[in-house]
Structure 1
Amino acid sequence: MESNYVVVVNGKPEGPYDFEQLKHMTIVAGTFVRKPGMDDYKEAHEFPELRALFGFSYEQTAPQYFASFDQRLLAAVIDYFILFLVYIVLLLCCFVFVKGQGERISFALLLLPLIPVFKFIYGVFAEASEKQGTIGKRLLSIKVTDMGGARVSIGLSFLRNLGKVLSVAPFFFGYLYSFLNKKQQCFHDVAAGTLVIKDRLI
Structure 2
Amino acid sequence: MEQKYFIHDGIGKKGPYTLEELRKLEIKRYTLIWHGALNNWTEADKLYELKSLFEATPPPINLRKEIQKVPPSLPQTTNVDYRTGRIEYLKDNTLQIHYENVIIQYRYANFGERLLARILDIFIIIIPAAIIPILPGWLYFSLMHCSESQQTIGQKALNIKLLSTDGAKINFGQSTGRFFGNILNALTFFIGFLMFFFNKRNQCLHDSLASTIVVSEIRRINKY
The two structures have a TM-score, normalised by structure 2, of 0.54
Deviations along 1:34-85, one digit per CA (max 9) or x if unpaired, are: xxxxxxxxxxx9xxxxxx723264646553311112111111001112224x
Match of 1:4 in 2: none
* 2:168 is aligned with 1:150: yes
Deviation of 1:114 (Å): 2.9
What is the aligned counterpart of 2:195 among 177, 190, 197?
Answer: 177
Q: CA RMSD in A?
A: 2.8
* 2:118 is aligned with 1:76: yes
Runs of 4+ more than 6 Å apart: none
Deviations along 1:4-48, one digit per CA (max 9) or x if unpaired, are: xxxxxxxxxxxxxxxxxxxx8834123249xxxxxxxxxxx9xxx
Bigger helix share: 1
Q: Distance in 1 between matches of 2:134 and 2:116?
A: 16
Count of aligned pairs: 138
Q: Gaps spanning 5+ residues in structure 1: where?
A: 1-23, 34-44, 46-51, 91-110
What is the aligned counterpart of 2:42 among 48, 54, 65?
Answer: 54
- Which amino acid is the alignment partner of residue 9 of structure 2? A
Give yes or no for contact 1:144–1:151 (8 Å, CA) kept in 2.
Answer: no
What is the aligned counterpart of 2:141 among 114, 123, 143?
Answer: 123
Q: Which 10-residue stretch deviates more, 61-70 or 142-151?
A: 61-70
Match of 2:6 in 1: 26
Q: Distance in 1 between matches of 2:88 and 2:147?
A: 18
Q: Distance in 2 between matches of 1:61 and 1:137?
A: 22
Q: Which 10-residue stretch deviates more, 155-164 or 145-154?
A: 145-154
Bigger strand share: 2
Deviations along 1:99-152, one digit per CA (max 9) or x if unpaired, are: xxxxxxxxxxxx725365312210001001101011011111111111123311
Q: Gaps spanning 5+ residues in structure 2: where?
A: 14-29, 31-39, 44-67, 70-85, 95-106, 220-224
- Give the number of the structure whose alpha-carbon radius of gyration is greater: 1
- Which amino acid is the alignment partner of residue 118 of structure 2? A
Identity rate of aligned residues, in percent? Answer: 31
Deviations along 1:145-183, one digit per CA (max 9) or x if unpaired, are: 111233111111111111011012232111111101000
